[in-house]
Amino acid sequence: MNAPMVSKLAGAWFLCLACSAPQASTYPSRSITIVVSSAPGGALDTVSRIVGNQLAKGLDTPVVIENRPGANASIGASAVARARPDGYTLLATSENALTIVPALMPDLPYDVRRDFTPISLLATLPMVVVASPASGLRSLEGLLDAARRSPGKLRFGSAGDASVHYVGMALMQKAAGISMMHVPYRAGPQAMNDVMAGNIDTMLLAPGPADQQRKAGRMQALGVTSARRLDFMPDVPAVAETLPGYTFEAWFGLLAPAGLPADVLVKLHAEVARVLALPEVSRQLAEAGIVATSCSPAEFARRIASERDQVLNTLRK
């Protein structure tokens, strides 16, 4: 998709907002529900609860976290797409529901461009290339060399084709000109367990568990997918140090149903930006290897559109 088309799609999200009746002066007058498209305990849930707690303080109203996981995050997304666009039902979700799944599954019960109003990014999450100690891989250079010598022999795990683990590794293979065997699992923790057991060679893993397991000697950390090394893992190089230009990160964002009144959007975005700028919030997220990240609604819309195209181009056979 070319730049003018992406801009048109981003602008379409806001075209209908100008006709909405002003109501920010009375918003919010009751509790707000944030539907989280993942199960409790994961990174998205952590971000949503930290942000939701601060939003409740700033807006002086209760914020309820409602976990609606399943079907590659489409259950939660579908529920919000059908909700009233009044600012009282919001969606906290990941790039999985907004870019990867729509690229792979065109028959979803929602259309990202038609059914949602983007509010802001909430956070970004770089990944770590990890390897089983049994694989003999001790560096990213070693992994790339092994993959070039024996195409298709190294095995990498993921939570399936519609997961960040798979897309990030597919992008790395494309950038490096290598080929590895994909071993899909029902969930990321299953793949992680098989890396530690030596049943597969490598995968992408979130920084928190990657750091924990490498310190326990259960896996090797070969590289981080952020542009620079992580502060709490300074001895682990960025993949870009070996593979210039390669970066990859998962991300989480906040959206509302399409048709959200413009003044409510402005109020919600301003409050989310304030929350994400709080040192306390940055510290809490950083402890889990997550980076607090905000942006404008228009920037968020453009990112969704462009990354969906990137996924389509990467996965196209």
**Residues 214, 157 within the same domain:** yes
**Which pTM was predicted?**
0.82
- In this structure, of 1-10, 169-178, 233-242, the range with the lowest mean pLDDT score is 1-10
Shortest CA distance to 281 belongs to which of 273, 3, 104? 273
The answer, yes or no, to whether residue 242 has pLDDT greater than 80, is yes
Can you give the residue range of the structural domain that contains 235?
A: 128-241
Q: How would residue 203 be classed by pLDDT, with cut points 50, 70 and 90?
A: very high
Whether 41 is in a domain gets the answer: yes
Whether 100 is in a domain gets the answer: yes
* Confidence at residue 7, expressed as pLDDT on a 0 to 100 scale: 53
Residue with tokens 């070693």: 142
Q: Which of 241, 274, 306 is the last residue of a domain?
A: 241
Q: How would residue 317 be classed by pLDDT, with cut points 50, 70 and 90?
A: low
**Residues 163, 192 within the same domain:** yes
* Confidence at residue 195, expressed as pLDDT on a 0 to 100 scale: 98
Q: How would residue 71 be classed by pLDDT, with cut points 50, 70 and 90?
A: confident
Average confidence (pLDDT) over 282-303: 94
The answer, yes or no, to whether residue 296 has pLDDT greater than 60, is yes
Average confidence (pLDDT) over 104-127: 93
Q: End-to-end alpha-carbon separation of the chain, Å? A: 18
Q: How many domains does the chain have?
A: 2
* CB within 8 Å of 26: residues ≥ 6 apart: none
Ramachandran class of 72: left when φ > 0, alpha when ψ lies in -120 to 50, beta otherwise:
left
pLDDT-above-90 percentage for the chain: 75
Say if CB 67 and CB 45 are below 8 A apart: yes
Whether 66 is in a domain gets the answer: yes
Count of alpha carbons within 13 angstroms of residue 9, beta-carbon side? 23
* CB within 8 Å of 128: residues ≥ 6 apart: 204, 205, 206, 207, 210, 211, 221, 222, 223, 224, 225, 233, 236
* Confidence at residue 22, expressed as pLDDT on a 0 to 100 scale: 46
In this predicted model, what pLDDT tens digit does every residue of 6-56 receive, in sequence order? 455 555 555 544 444 445 578 999 999 999 998 888 889 999 999 999 999
Cis peptide before 151 (omega within 30 of 0): no
Angle between helices 164-176 and 140-149 in degrees, nearest 10: 70
